[in-house]
Amino acid sequence: MLDVKRYNVRMAGLGGQGVVTASHILSNAVVISKGFSSLVPFFGSEKRNAPVESYVRISNEVIYEIGEIVYPNVLMIFSEQVITLGKSYTMPFYTGLKDSGVVLINNTKPIKFVPDETRELKEKGARIYYIPATQIANEVAKTELATNMCMCGAIAAILGMPDTDSLKASVKDRFIGKGIVVSGGTAALDSVIEKKFAKKAKLLQANTDALMAAYQYAVDHKWGVHAESEEKTVAV
């Protein structure tokens, strides 16, 4: 049983990285696992590489709040450019982060922050994890487009929610969708759907594999709830 009541997750990344999709996958997985969730994306003109944020609330209890998360306890940074090039709606990227908050950053190595940032993150007791999400995506799914899946897998491992079965079901919802189940269509229509389905099933598998690889990465590194020593929770 989770003793933490709720996680308020702010995701930041670049247009095209699937930040908004990631928030839907995470949110939907929590709902599938009988939890509660709400989310709202924030972006300007839709273009590649422009800043994107998405806010997801997840909890094992009912959630009332909606809208932007100004005071998150979890940050997911999908690209180092959010920090190093300031491609973000929130500067510095940890603005509003609650004490002992979780920060998951997609990068192969720790980022060198300016002294003020280092100090402030230390004062907040931020727990920073670096995951090579794009690298895992390229290796496992053969496409960097699965970076967002890796981020979802890693954060689920760190927070201990949602469970992996619900995550997989959520990814399936995304690719196969509830509506594509054949319903009394003609034979011709069936065969078109089957062809599409085969391609989508392949995509689904690659994405699920990437997600699980990142999940395992976080478990292997003993992050979050998998830590050997009891880590302080980050309840609101």
Partner 1 sequence: MSQSTQIKADWVPKGDLQEVKDPEWLFHEAPRETEFITGSEAAREAIRRANVDIAISYPITPQSETMQQAGYLYDEGYIKDYYRGEEEIGVMSAIGGASRAGVRALTATAGPGLMRGMEAISSWPGARTPLVLMNMCRVINTPLAIQPDNIEISFLLNTGILHAHAENQQDFFDYTLAAFMVSEEVDVTLPAVVSVDGFFVTHARGQVSMFSQDYKLPPRDGWRNAVPSMDNENPPARISRDSPIQKSNFISYHMHASWQQEVFAAVERSAKYWRKYLGDLIEVINPDAEIFVVSSGACVSQAREAVRQEGEAGRKVGLIKIKTIRPWPKVEILAALKNAKKILVPEFNQAGWLHKELCSTLYGLITAEIIAGPRVYGGMSMPTEIILEWLAKARK
Footprint on this chain of partner 1 (rule: CB under 8 A): 24, 27-28, 31, 37-42, 63-68, 70-71
Shortest Å distance, C-beta 69 to partner 1: 8
Shortest Å distance, C-beta 40 to partner 1: 4
3-state secondary structure string across the chain? CCCCCEEEEEEEEECCCCHHHHHHHHHHHHHHCCCEEEEEEEECCCCCCCEEEEEEEEECCCCCCCCCCCCCCEEEECCCHHHHCCCCCCCCCCCCCCCCCEEEEECCCCCCCCHHHHHHHHHCCCEEEEECHHHHHHHHCCCHHHHHHHHHHHHHHHHCCCCHHHHHHHHHHHHCCHHHCCCCCCHHHHHHHHHHHHHHHHHHHHHHHHHHHHHHHHHHCCCHHHCCCCCCCCCC
Q: Which is nearer to partner 1, 32 or 136 (CB)?
A: 32
Q: Which is nearer to partner 1, 76 or 141 (CB)?
A: 76
Shortest Å distance, C-beta 67 to partner 1: 3
Q: Which is nearer to partner 1, 37 or 134 (CB)?
A: 37
Q: Which is nearer to partner 1, 20 or 206 (CB)?
A: 20
Shortest Å distance, C-beta 64 to partner 1: 4
Shortest Å distance, C-beta 163 to partner 1: 17
Q: Which is nearer to partner 1, 40 or 128 (CB)?
A: 40
Specify the amino acid at residue 134: T
